[in-house]
Amino acid sequence: MTRGWAWRILAAATLGAALTVMSLRIPTWLDGWWPWPPLPEGSLWGRAAVVFAWTTNPVVPTLALLAVALWAGRRRLLRLAARLVASSLLSLSIVTTLKVLVGRERPVTGWLGVLTSDASFPSGHAAAATVLACGLLALAREARWPPRRAGWWATGWLLFVLLVGADRLLLQVHHVSDVLAGVLVGVFAHALASAFAYSPARSPIAASGLRFAVVCNPARVRNAGLLRRVVEAEAGGRGWRLVGWHTTTVEEPGSEAATAALSAGADLVLVVGGDGTQRAACSALAHSPATLGLIPHGSGDLLARALRVPRDLPTAVRAALDGTPMPLDLLRVELDGRPEVSAVMVGIGADAAVLRDTSEAWKRRVGPYAYLAAGARHIAARPVPTRVVVDGEEVLDGPASLVEIGNVADLHQGIALLPGATPFDGIADVLVASPSGAGDVVRMIAGVLAGRTTDRQLTRGRGCTVEVRTASPVTCQIDGELMGDVSSLRLAVDPGAVRVALS
């Protein structure tokens, strides 16, 4: 049994034991700790406490925590986002379960006439406030906030929890034991969610004297300050020395930035962006002594997914800093004589047309699902007379609507267009689609989604060199970047051209 699952089983067993103990024995002796009577009915302070009770209703902190989880997820703090959602749901579930099991009556107070009430034990307000505070403290820690800022943040949210608890007691709508149990439920829910999100990692590797640089696509990064803090904290803790932080532009997608990193003597170049940024950096880093570290921030991240690079920002940074360099193949391409490089996949025909018609804004919003609407318009793509030669042998001379040459297996997440393709074997995988109508396209798509590798109108091949010629210019894409219309394509595999850090 792995250490991660041992933690999860222990956490689940602890939850069961805690629910059992709390439902059987309530520490009512704690209730005498609050000596003050409830606020007078109709008083100004009492009305203010009621308003505060409404605004801290468990629904409000729960929605706030889910909003924070969405914020964190969009900034690639994916593990944190999962913990926040899980802790919120766990807290709500535990509170509901205990209220049903215990069924404790509320204290006698006139304020219950203006507040909704259910079972008293435990306090849902206190639990929701606590799990929100724990989540926001975890955010500050994960986002690597400066100690002074994090300290004030922690103090503020701890005071918030105390105010929520005091509000329940000043209105006397809860016993002291109800409030304390609610706080414990919130802490426990956060700890349990963290245990389930726990993933054992290798020990950090000291790199005293080694240098690193960053190549970052700012269009793909929602919070540059967060990124920089995480990278510099993780690298600095291992002894890495930063020698350059370079941003890309539309005109310069990353090759010049990677070249500048090499000139500065970087031993490791962290590339933050999507497949296009990584492709440009690979072109500059090919056959150099520097190692490539992938920090995926794209809509597809096909190369990162194929290499099992974590999409969570802190985890990806740690994997790059501590990873073992592995030789990665590149595809050297000539499009009508124009040289290009691919790390993922080269396609001409339908897939490039779909990419061309997909909104960049929608890709940022919904990721790979944005391609579905554009794909529907190309369901009946018209084949073009095409000749395909792999390692000197002709594999097709006839109509084709798609020619895909891949260094990895997936065209998009979960769609294994080239099963078995790997960027470590020195060989490119080829697929040619020759449908005669929309029905054939639908059948082939269904076959790919189902994992079938054979179809009478699909031709597959593997080799070190590929040549493609079309009777008329056809739209082409490389690693998700449109390259215009071409009628001639030559490709050769460059084995182990780039060293990439993999955990």
Interval 153-197: pLDDT, tens: 999 999 999 999 999 999 988 999 999 999 989 998 998 898 877
Ranges of H-type helices in 107-254 = 124-142, 147-170, 176-196, 224-238
For residue 304, which of 104, 479, 77 has the smallest C-alpha distance? 479
Higher pLDDT, 118 or 86: 86
Entry pTM: 0.85
Domain spans of the chain, in order of start: 3-196, 211-322, 338-494
Least confident span in 180-194, 214-228, 254-268, 379-393: 379-393
Distance in angstroms between the alpha carbons of the first and the last residue of the chain:
21
Q: Is 343 in contact with 258 (CB distance < 8 Å)?
A: no
Average confidence (pLDDT) over 334-360: 83
For the chain, helix (H) and strand (E) counts, in that order, are: 16, 16
Q: 170-187: b or e for each residue (b if 16 or more CB lie within 10 Å)?
A: bbbbbbbbbbbbbbbbbb
The reply to whether 211-322 and 338-494 are identical in fold is no
3-class DSSP assignment, residue 271: strand
Give me the chain's average pLDDT, please: 85
Higher-pLDDT residue of 234, 29: 234
Q: What helix, strand, coil percent values describe the chain, rounded to 5?
A: 50, 25, 30
Q: What is residue 101's predicted lDDT score, i.e. its pLDDT?
A: 85
Q: What are phi and psi of 67, to 5 degrees?
A: -65, -40
Q: Which of 278-287, 358-367, 395-404 is the least confident region?
A: 358-367
Token representation of residue 417: 């267009």
State the alpha helices, DSSP H only, in 272-324: 275-285, 302-306, 313-322
Return the CATH architecture of domain 338-494.
Answer: Sandwich (2.60)
Please check whether residue 308 is in contact with residue 502, taking contact to mean a CB–CB distance below 8 angstroms.
Answer: yes
Mean pLDDT along residues 435-447: 55
Residue whose C-alpha is closest to residue 346's, from 255, 481, 471:
481
Predicted confidence (pLDDT) per residue in 28-74, tens digit: 777 888 888 888 887 898 889 989 999 999 999 999 999 999 999 99
Altogether, the residues listed in the chain come to a count of 503
Residue 117: predicted pLDDT: 64
So what's the pLDDT on residue 455? 59
Choosing among 3.90.700.10, 3.40.930.10, 3.40.50.10330, 1.10.10.60, the CATH entry for 211-322 is: 3.40.50.10330
Q: How many CB atoms lie within 10 A of CB 232?
A: 16
Tokens of 447: 């076959």
- Residue from 228, 278, 223, 222 nearest 248 by CA: 278
